[in-house]
């Protein structure tokens, strides 16, 4: 019998390896009718900024071959409204909740995390977004520099005992170096990848597809890129890697585990089917039986 | 280049639908296209749901190849729907595939015996599936004059006013169509201070409020729902797709 | 009437903006029956190494969502056999021929280019591959370092008066900086992008999809990434940019021109249809008439 | 899970085809799948070409939805084809969808009245479209024993030898099927020093020598064509897909 439980860190156990990725599942309260959120292994909230953020002007999404390009611009309610309006609901969930935070400065990251630490006591931890390709907050300036990554991680480490995962950008020359910096700074896990920098326009009119011009590419198109990144990170650090990028089938989950991931996140595929994470679990168990393994740990990092 | 008609047996869902709402259709199992395609509900008949659509790309092309008996994955009904309780004599204006949500409203108004006029515009006659019959409440317009009034739906509207087939004021407009038509409608309604609702066709990734991708800029800040995370935008999929024309910023349409 | 002629450099005119990309059209003699090579604007040969190279063991390709992942490993006949066996044929062509070269050291690049300069006198120029993600030769160590890129370019500049384009890797944090370095070194043009680092495996067996494990992703999946790279490069240098990455329609060609490209290359799409480059030209002219432009220059870099 | 049969009107191309060659089929206009799918020619009838295939993924699934009258884009005939001039009594062995290239050879041998035996193996009876009739030169095998000999094509081969329906030596084997079967065949042929040709099904991107993706490792270096750029590999699409078993490295098959 397949056992899907994942020990993510000392204090964090997931009922299964599948989490909803930041920015693709709101604050978990958007889809109660369509899906039982509690059946997910975990849930990462939309990235929070210090102040409410309306995001970029429309248009902010466009479909590309097997991909989705977006420049939402971290539209979110801000940490204050989150603590007052969303956290109470999130704390009633059985699933492990990770709050994603995004600052424009190290100080902002500190302030956001501090505010949540003060109000919340049942969340599992944080995902630190230093890899959003289309804004200043949570921006890639952080995610492309190993030294800033280490400094930021170390700062946040002092503020909480909860699980901290640093979410990395694929838009760098050596993602393994950034992962190592996060490890040195005291991170508990690395999540990867955020979206890949991309651009599109209407060819005939020249109209930009995103008001922000530049956006982030997600979806099946980036799966091989994400697998290479996860493989590189898993080889560089001894922290658990939470892999994502284009996952849309149980086979894809296995691919990320084989590349070295301990758990996975699903993003864009939720837009096709908000229940996809939960639906893939049955199929995942089936595949595990076919492979004659009881835990995913048995194939983690195993490529022949 | 005509319109395709699709009838889907949807069961209980049919009873929930209201004119102006849409369904989000998975056009295939692969990744081309990757996302669902939003389609206005063009009518409900018992437990059947009707769509009217134009083939413009891979998704709609895949739909056009569906066979009787195929099983389809769709989410719905979604969105707010028309506010049919608006005052005034209802004039429904649909351009091209934009006829779909308007046609459903037309059917509902017929059912409740509410006097109204339906104007359907298109480039040429091949998209038309109705008969031009202004005296019984249905007008057509074509760009090339091949059916009904030669010109736009607004030209047809003017003709109807001239012919006193509809009132000159106190109209309540319900429009859906290509951007040019929507803008013209919004301008017209603004000039004549008429009530006007427009069903927008913003690009959507999820259709259910998850992606924040379908934001619509509002002319008047404030009073926007909290889930839109801001004062300036609403989400077309859950706050729309129907908006009051006077609340929209023109470039948005 | 649309005029497709492109003035690429002082001495190089293309009859149209469409070239075949390196590694996807052999040495131009593989497909004579299926396509009239002379109708292409240009042809970039498979990258040449100093010695013949058998490439990686099978398997070396796998399809991914809207993409192709490959680790051919620069299989090629080597510069000597090229000069003796292929160059004479290439010099009979009407189309502009660019020879792609890939060395493991700066010295090797020099040797390869010198050998060709000695034998050839009708080729239009060179494409310097410093961006292949799966080998040492032509490898990314060059392409990810601005200073090495500048040194290498400057060395090669001294050896030839012909057109030199430097082909860049997208697997870097700041591609514009590498492009600037190539410009400082004396390049005549920048071509971009080479493939994006990727990985895949069979989920159930764990069998690697590529014997080399890591490969390069091409095809429609990477188009938004390539457009962003071209846009960034075009904003940074005043050299012509030769854009590529996922082009498979005339609309795609226009996208790259709007992103800032002067000409384009087609790679993976040749595998679907070896005549694709030629076939798209008619459609391109049609679209240009629709846009009411006579030359692509009118929309180069134009995004609203 | 059975085999699909597709008959394509290909015109002049039909006259060029030889058994063991393949065509490279575009299964759809979109990018799922992105590349063509190689398919062995299973037969030629006048100006018509026949394929036999199994649905295993998106490409073959798309093919299975083709309707009579659809226009298909294919390149071919490609590859080298069987060397039918080989000495010895021809025994043709096809496993699963691997029957296709073997079946075409069978038809050609029938046409030229060349004595031979055809063995088709599959998991169960549903893939079989032939009748088990060893005395007239056709044997079937199934893993589950539901038709013909219970076991593999090699088990069927042994039975035929036992029954003296084919010679014990001097055979010339022509095989195509799943990797396990191909390896077993190569081993068998090696042990008995029999001539054996195998039609490989390497993954291909282009099918015409452009991508260098379909390389096959050769046991004996040297004597390899120049376009393969090396001593050790050949290209399955233009040097193959048919190779002599003894020239192949076992892990390659
Ligand atoms: C709420 C809503 C209701 C709709 N109702 C209907 C309907 O009843 N009947 C109908 O025919 N269509 C309707 N549409 C539009 C329909 O969703 C698109 O035509 C469809 O998504 C196109 O998919 P495709 O894959 O065929 O084309 P694609 O390949 O995705 O696109 C083809 C071309 O159309 C453009 N395009 C795609 N989607 C949109 C859009 N939403 N707005 C403007 N341009 C777009 C693309 O930019 C591209 O140029 C509706 C859209 C929305 C948001
Ligand atoms: C020269 C040649 C001749 C062939 N002739 C036939 C034929 O006559 N009939 C027939 O049914 N099939 C034949 N094949 C195999 C056929 O090409 C594949 O089944 C087909 O490409 C699968 O496409 P798909 O999109 O349906 O599946 P995909 O989604 O591409 O693949 C589904 C599964 O099959 C595996 N797969 C795909 N292609 C191959 C391959 N070439 N070898 C091994 N595994 C593969 C994939 O890894 C995956 O696990 C031939 C292949 C070659 C190279
Ligand atoms: C519309 C959209 C919004 C996103 N917003 C966020 C966000 O706020 N914070 C974040 O860390 N990642 C965000 N992401 C990135 C995803 O969490 C994920 O890293 C990425 O999409 C790759 O996974 P996928 O291919 O499964 O979507 C967003 C992605 C999309 C498509
Ligand atoms: C099978 C294959 C082999 C390639 N070989 C080379 C090569 O030898 N030299 C090179 O510079 N680029 C090589 N490329 C990269 C292409 O020239 C091109 O940069 C890349 O594929 C992106 O374009 P595309 O998406 O149109 O294929 C190769 C690409 C593929 C798919
Ligand atoms: S379409 Fe996703 S929020 Fe509206
Ligand atoms: S399939 Fe491309 S070279 Fe053989």
Predicted confidence (pLDDT) per residue in B41-69, tens digit:
999 999 999 999 999 999 999 999 899 99
Q: What is the number of the ligand 2 atom nearest to the C-alpha of D3?
A: 11
Q: Does residue B45 belong to the interface with chain C, where contact is any CB pair within 8 Å?
A: no
pLDDT score for D218? 87
Contact A134, A216 (CB under 8 A): yes
Domain presence at residue D216: no
Domain total for chain B? 2
Residue C30 above 80 pLDDT? no
Q: Burial letters for B148-175: b for 16+ Cβ neighbours within 10 Å, e otherwise? A: bbebbbbebbebbeeeeebeeeebbbbb
Q: 3-class secondary structure for chain B?
A: CCCEEEEEECCCHHHHCCCCCEEEEECCCCCCCCCCEEEECCEEECCEEEEEECCCCHHHHHHHCCCCCCCCEEEEEECCCCCCCCCCEEEEEEEHHHHHHHHHHHHHHHHCCCCCEEEEEECCHHHCCCCCEHHHCEEEEECCCCCCEECCHHHHHHHHHHCCCCCCCCEEEEEECCHHHHHHHHHHHHHCCCEEEEECCCCCCCCCCCCCCCEEEECCCCCCCHHHCCCCEEECCCCCCEEEHHHECHHHC
Residues B252 and A59: their CA atoms lie apart, in Å, by 9
Q: Which residues lie across from D142 on neighbouring strands?
A: D122, D150
Supply the mean pLDDT for chain A. Answer: 94
Top residue of C57, C64, C224, C229 to mutate, by most chain A CBs within 10 Å, is C224
Identify the CA nearest to C68 among candidates D29, D236, D34. Answer: D34
Q: Does residue D216 belong to the interface with chain C, where contact is any CB pair within 8 Å?
A: yes
Residues in A touching B253 (Cβ below 8 Å): none
Question: Are B149 and B71 members of one domain?
Answer: no
Distance of residue B208 Cα from the nearest chain A Cα, in angstroms: 8
Top residue of C17, C59, C62, C65 to mutate, by most chain A CBs within 10 Å, is C65
Question: Are D101 and D20 members of one domain?
Answer: no
Q: What's the farthest any 2 CA atoms get from each other in chain A?
A: 57
Domain presence at residue B244: no
In the predicted model, what is the mean pLDDT of residues A40-68? 95
Compare A209 and B227 and report the one with higher pLDDT: A209
Question: Are D72 and D10 members of one domain?
Answer: yes
Q: Around Cβ A138, how many Cβ atoms within 10 Å? A: 29
Contact B183, B253 (CB under 8 A): yes
In the predicted model, what is the mean pLDDT of residues A245-249? 98
Closest protein CA for atom 26 of ligand 4 = C267
Q: Burial letters for B132-146: b for 16+ Cβ neighbours within 10 Å, e otherwise? A: bebeebbbbbbeeee
Residues A197 and A134: their CA atoms lie apart, in Å, by 8
Q: What are B30-40's pLDDT values in tens digits?
A: 899 999 999 99
Q: How far is CA A83 from the centre of its chain?
A: 20
Instruction: Report chain A's terminal Cα–Cα distance, integer Å.
Output: 24
pLDDT score for B149? 86
In the predicted model, what is the mean pLDDT of residues C130-143? 72
Distance of residue D32 Cα from the nearest chain B Cα, in angstroms: 6
Question: Are D69 and D21 members of one domain?
Answer: yes
Residues C101 and C73: their CA atoms lie apart, in Å, by 13
Residues A241 and A8: their CA atoms lie apart, in Å, by 9
CB-ligand 1 contact for B206 (6 Å cutoff): no
pLDDT score for B136? 86
pLDDT score for B127? 74
- Distance, CA C194 to ligand 4 centroid (Å)? 6
pLDDT score for A237? 98
Q: Does residue D31 belong to the interface with chain A, where contact is any CB pair within 8 Å?
A: yes
Q: Around Cβ A148, how many Cβ atoms within 10 Å? A: 17
Q: How far is CA A130 from the centre of its chain?
A: 11
Contact A227, A233 (CB under 8 A): no
Domain boundary among D181, D202, D223: D202
Residue A183, helix vs strand vs coil: helix
Distance of residue B122 Cα from the nearest chain C Cα, in angstroms: 21
Domain presence at residue D122: yes
- Distance, CA D1 to ligand 2 centroid (Å)? 15
Domain boundary among D40, D57, D78: D78
Instruction: Report chain D's terminal Cα–Cα distance, integer Å.
Output: 24
Residues in C touching A201 (Cβ below 8 Å): 227, 255, 258-259, 303
**Active-site positions of C?**
132
Q: Residue C157: which H helix or E strand, with range?
A: helix C146-157
Q: What are C235-249's pLDDT values in tens digits?
A: 999 999 999 999 999
- Distance, CA A273 to ligand 5 centroid (Å)? 13
Q: Are strands A163-167 and A189-192 parallel, antiparallel or unpaired?
A: parallel
Domain presence at residue B218: no
Question: Are D93 and D186 members of one domain?
Answer: yes
Among A24, A57, A58, the residue with its CB nearest the CB of B210 is: A24
Q: Which residues lie across from A13 on neighbouring strands?
A: A7
Q: Which stretches of chain A are DSSP H helices?
A: 78-81, 87-90, 106-119, 140-143, 146-157, 175-185, 223-236, 250-259, 269-272, 276-290
- Distance, CA D55 to ligand 2 centroid (Å)? 9
Residue with tokens 């295993």, as numbered in its chain: D56
Neighbours of chain A (3+ CB pairs under 8 A): B, C, D
Question: Are D134 and D67 members of one domain?
Answer: no
What C25-30 contacts at long range (C-beta under 8 Å, 24+ apart), as own/partner pairs, is C25/C270, C25/C274, C25/D210, C26/D209, C26/D210, C26/D227, C27/C82, C27/C86, C27/C89, C27/C90, C28/C89, C28/C90, C28/C93, C28/C95, C28/C97, C29/C86, C29/C89, C30/D208, C30/D209, C30/D210, C30/D227
A9: alpha, beta or left, given left = phi > 0 and alpha = psi -120 to 50? beta
Grade residue C140 by pLDDT with cuts at 50, 70 and 90.
low
Q: Which ligand is nearest to the CA of C229?
A: 4
Grade residue B236 by pLDDT with cuts at 50, 70 and 90.
very high
Q: Please choose from C202, C207, C209, C272 the residue to mutate so as to test ligand 2's pocket, defined by most ligand atoms within 8 A of CB.
A: C202
Which residues line ligand 6 at a C-beta cut-off of 6 Å?
Answer: D 204-207, 209-214, 235-237
Domain presence at residue B220: no
CB contact under 8 A, C30 and D217: no
Domain presence at residue B225: no
CB-ligand 3 contact for A215 (6 Å cutoff): no
Weakest mean pLDDT among A122-131, B80-89, D127-136? D127-136
Domain presence at residue B52: yes
Residues A102 and A112: their CA atoms lie apart, in Å, by 8
Q: What is the number of the ligand 6 atom nearest to the C-alpha of D204?
A: 1
Q: Does residue D230 belong to the interface with chain C, where contact is any CB pair within 8 Å?
A: yes
What is the DSSP annotation of D14-76? HHH--TT-EEEEE--SSSSS-S-EEEE--EEETTEEEEEE---SHHHHHHHT--TT---EEEE
Q: Are strands D233-235 and A67-70 parallel, antiparallel or unpaired?
A: unpaired
Distance of residue A214 Cα from the nearest chain B Cα, in angstroms: 15
pLDDT score for C137? 60
Percent of chain A with pLDDT over 70: 97
* Tokens at D42, concatenated: 């299973």
Torsion of CA A134, A136, A140, A146, to 10 degrees: 180
Which residues line ligand 5 at a C-beta cut-off of 6 Å?
Answer: B 204-207, 209-214, 235-237
In the predicted model, what is the mean pLDDT of residues C231-238? 98
In the predicted model, what is the mean pLDDT of residues D33-59? 96
The pair phi, psi for residue C113, each rounded to 5°, is -65, -40
| Sign of the torsion formed by the C-alpha atoms of C56, C58, C59 and C61 | positive
Residues 6+ apart with CB under 8 A from B128: B120, B122, B140, B142, B147, B148
- Distance, CA C121 to ligand 5 centroid (Å)? 59
Residue A140 above 70 pLDDT? no
Q: Please choose from B39, B201, B206, B240 the residue to mutate so as to test ligand 5's pocket, defined by most ligand atoms within 8 A of CB.
A: B206
Which CATH number does the domain housing residue D95 bear? 3.40.50.80
Residue with tokens 């005034």, as numbered in its chain: B88
Supply the mean pLDDT for chain C. Answer: 94
Q: B33 is in which domain, residue-wise?
A: 4-78
Domain boundary among D78, D113, D130: D78
pLDDT score for C136? 65
Residue A261 above 90 pLDDT? yes
What is the DSSP annotation of A120-134? -SS--EEEEE--BTT
Among D31, D212, D226, the residue with its CB nearest the CB of C75 is: D212
Q: Around Cβ C10, how many Cβ atoms within 10 Å? A: 9
Q: How far is CA D205 from the centre of its chain?
A: 19
| Rounded alpha-carbon distances, angstroms, from residue A164 to A100, A156, A184, B112 | 10, 8, 13, 59
Supply the mean pLDDT for chain D. Answer: 90
- Distance, CA A270 to ligand 2 centroid (Å)? 30
Compare D95 and C120 and report the one with higher pLDDT: D95
pTM: 0.96
Residue D250 above 80 pLDDT? no
Question: Are B107 and B198 members of one domain?
Answer: yes
pLDDT score for A193? 97
Residues C227 and D5: their CA atoms lie apart, in Å, by 42
Question: Are D97 and D59 members of one domain?
Answer: no
CB-hemisphere CA count at 13 Å for A113? Answer: 29
pLDDT score for D29? 87
pLDDT score for A10? 87
Contact C219, C195 (CB under 8 A): no
Question: Are B106 and B61 members of one domain?
Answer: no
Q: Does residue C65 belong to the interface with chain A, where contact is any CB pair within 8 Å?
A: yes
Q: Are strands D117-122 and D138-142 parallel, antiparallel or unpaired?
A: parallel
* Tokens at B38, concatenated: 């939003």
* Tokens at A162, concatenated: 């909860």
Distance of residue C148 Cα from the nearest chain B Cα, in angstroms: 40
CB contact under 8 A, A173 and C144: yes
Question: Are D62 and D124 members of one domain?
Answer: no
Q: Which residues lie across from B44 on neighbouring strands?
A: B49
Q: What are C151-202's pLDDT values in tens digits?
A: 999 999 999 999 999 999 999 999 999 999 999 999 999 999 999 999 999 9
Q: Which residue of C has its CA nearest to D76?
A: C34
CB contact under 8 A, A30 and B229: no
Domains and CATH numbers, chain A: 6-298 (3.20.20.70)
Question: Are B188 and B141 members of one domain?
Answer: yes
Among D73, D229, D252, the residue with its CB nearest the CB of C75 is: D229
- Distance, CA A202 to ligand 1 centroid (Å)? 14
ipTM of the complex: 0.96
Q: What are D201-220's pLDDT values in tens digits?
A: 999 999 999 999 999 988 86
Is the preceding peptide bond at B77 cis, omega within 30 degrees of 0?
A: yes
pLDDT score for B229? 56
Q: What is the number of the ligand 4 atom nearest to the C-alpha of C247?
A: 26
Q: Which ligand is nearest to the CA of A248?
A: 3
Question: Are D95 and D166 members of one domain?
Answer: yes
Q: Which residues lie across from D195 on neighbouring strands?
A: D172
Residues D145 and D150: their CA atoms lie apart, in Å, by 4
pLDDT score for D251? 61
Q: What are C71-127's pLDDT values in tens digits?
A: 999 999 999 999 999 999 999 999 999 999 999 999 999 999 999 999 977 999 999
What's the CA angle centered on C220, arms C214 and C222, to 5 degrees? 50
pLDDT score for D84? 82
Q: Is B180 exposed, middle or buried (0-12, 13-18, 19+ CB in 10 A)?
A: exposed
Grade residue C272 by pLDDT with cuts at 50, 70 and 90.
very high
Domain presence at residue B101: yes
| Sign of the torsion formed by the C-alpha atoms of B6, B11, B17 and B19 | positive
* Tokens at A255, concatenated: 């691919």
Which CATH number does the domain housing residue B38 bear? 2.40.30.10
Q: Which residues lie across from A208 on neighbouring strands?
A: A201
Contact C258, A206 (CB under 8 A): yes
Distance of residue D31 Cα from the nearest chain B Cα, in angstroms: 6
pLDDT score for B93? 95
Residues A143 and A151: their CA atoms lie apart, in Å, by 12
Among D215, D228, D230, the residue with its CB nearest the CB of C60 is: D215
Q: Which residues lie across from C264 on neighbouring strands?
A: C18, C243
Residues B73 and B39: their CA atoms lie apart, in Å, by 13
Q: Does residue A304 belong to the interface with chain C, where contact is any CB pair within 8 Å?
A: yes
Q: What are B192-224's pLDDT values in tens digits?
A: 989 999 999 999 999 999 999 999 988 865 555
Q: Does residue D32 belong to the interface with chain B, where contact is any CB pair within 8 Å?
A: yes
Percent of chain C with pLDDT over 90: 87
Percent of chain A with pLDDT over 90: 88
Residue A299 above 80 pLDDT? yes
């Amino acid at each position: 019998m397949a056992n899907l439980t994942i020990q993510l860190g000392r204090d964090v156990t997931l009922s299964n390896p599948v989490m909803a990725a930041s920015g693709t599942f709101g604050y978990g309260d958007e889809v109660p009718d369509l899906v039982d959120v509690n059946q997910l292994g975990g849930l990462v909230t939309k990235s929070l900024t210090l102040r409410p953020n309306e995001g970029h002007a429309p248009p902010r999404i466009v479909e590309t071959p097997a991909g989705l390009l977006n420049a939402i611009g971290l539209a979110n309610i801000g940490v204050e409204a989150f603590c007052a309006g969303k956290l109470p609901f999130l704390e009633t969930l059985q699933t492990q909740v990770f709050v994603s935070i995004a600052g424009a400065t190290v100080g902002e990251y500190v302030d956001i995390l501090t505010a949540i630490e003060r109000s919340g006591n049942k969340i599992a931890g944080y995902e630190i977004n230093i890899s959003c390709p289309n804004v200043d907050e949570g921006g890639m300036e952080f995610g492309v520099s190993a030294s800033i990554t280490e400094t930021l991680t170390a700062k946040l480490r002092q503020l909480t005992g909860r699980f901290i995962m640093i979410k990395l950008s694929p838009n760098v020359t050596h993602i393994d170096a950034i992962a190592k910096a996060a490890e040195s700074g005291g991170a508990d896990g690395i999540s990867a990848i955020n979206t890949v920098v991309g651009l599109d326009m209407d060819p005939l009119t020249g109209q930009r597809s995103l008001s922000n011009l530049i956006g982030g590419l997600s979806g099946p198109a980036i799966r091989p890129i994400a697998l290479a990144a996860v493989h590189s990170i898993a080889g560089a650090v001894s922290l658990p890697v939470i892999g994502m990028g284009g996952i849309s089938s149980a086979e894809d989950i296995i691919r990320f585990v084989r590349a070295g991931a301990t758990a996975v996140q699903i993003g864009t595929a939720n837009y096709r089917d908000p229940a996809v994470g939960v639906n893939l679990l049955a199929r995942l168990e089936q595949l595990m039986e076919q492979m004659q393994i009881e835990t995913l740990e048995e194939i983690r990092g195993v490529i022949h | 280049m005509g319109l395709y008609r699709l009838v889907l047996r949807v069961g209980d869902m049919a009873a929930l639908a209201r004119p102006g709402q849409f369904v989000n259709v998975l056009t295939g199992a692969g990744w081309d296209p990757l996302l669902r395609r939003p389609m206005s509900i063009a009518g409900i008949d018992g437990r059947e749901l009707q769509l009217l659509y134009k083939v413009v790309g891979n998704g709609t092309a895949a739909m056009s190849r569906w066979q009787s008996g195929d099983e389809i994955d769709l989410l719905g009904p979604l969105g707010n729907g028309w506010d049919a309780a608006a005052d005034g004599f209802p004039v429904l204006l649909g351009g091209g595939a934009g006829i779909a949500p308007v046609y459903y409203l037309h059917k509902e108004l017929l059912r409740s015996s509410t006097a109204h006029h339906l104007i359907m515009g298109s480039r040429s006659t091949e998209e038309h599936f109705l008969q031009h019959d202004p005296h019984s409440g249905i007008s057509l317009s074509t760009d090339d004059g091949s059916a009904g009034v030669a010109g736009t739906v607004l030209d047809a509207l003017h003709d109807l006013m001239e012919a006193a087939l509809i009132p000159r004021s106190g109209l309540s407009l319900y429009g859906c169509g290509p951007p040019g038509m929507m803008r013209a409608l919004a301008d017209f309604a603004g000039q004549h201070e008429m009530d006007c609702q427009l069903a927008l066709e913003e690009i959507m990734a999820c259709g259910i409020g998850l992606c924040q991708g379908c934001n619509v800029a509002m002319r008047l800040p404030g009073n926007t729902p909290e889930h839109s995370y801001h004062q300036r935008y609403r989400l077309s999929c859950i706050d729309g797709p129907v908006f009051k024309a006077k609340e929209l910023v023109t470039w948005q349409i």
